[in-house]
Amino acid sequence: MNVQIFGKSKCFDTKKAERWFKERRVPFQSIDLKRYGMSGREFDSVLRAVGGIDKLIDWENKSQEVTNMKYMSDNRAKEDKVFDDPMLMKTPVVRNGKQATVGYCPEVWATWE
């Protein structure tokens, strides 16, 4: 298993995900979205795995960018905006090869073991 956890340093769900994998002794790589972001290939892989950009956006974020994206119909424009500003993503984004989840999803991670 090759687990990567993309998250924000102050995100409670990211810390819970890291603890979940530590408790099961599953090695993982933790990546700070604010500092490093995602590569283009990682971003495309996550989009395919989760089912589109709308599932990756943190709709509870009260920023003006997220509010504006609610009215955008062009998914490609949304993808570009989120790729350029990874702080708009819901975290944690957990990848295991071609599989990925957004948010705290231990029931899905348990099937990866």
Q: What is the pLDDT of residue 112?
A: 85
Read off the pTM: 0.90
How many structural domains is the chain composed of?
Answer: 1
> Could you give the 3-state DSSP secondary structure of residue 39?
coil
Note the pLDDT of residue 39.
Answer: 92
Q: What is the pLDDT of residues 60-104, one digit of tens each?
A: 888 888 888 888 888 899 999 999 999 999 999 999 989 999 999
> CATH number of the domain that 97 lies in?
3.40.30.10
Domain with 77, as residue range(s), is 3-112
Residues 26, 101: Cα–Cα separation, whole Å: 16
Sheet bearing 93-96, strands edge to edge:
28-32, 3-7, 93-96, 99-102
Q: State residue 86 phi and psi, 5-degree precision.
A: -65, -10
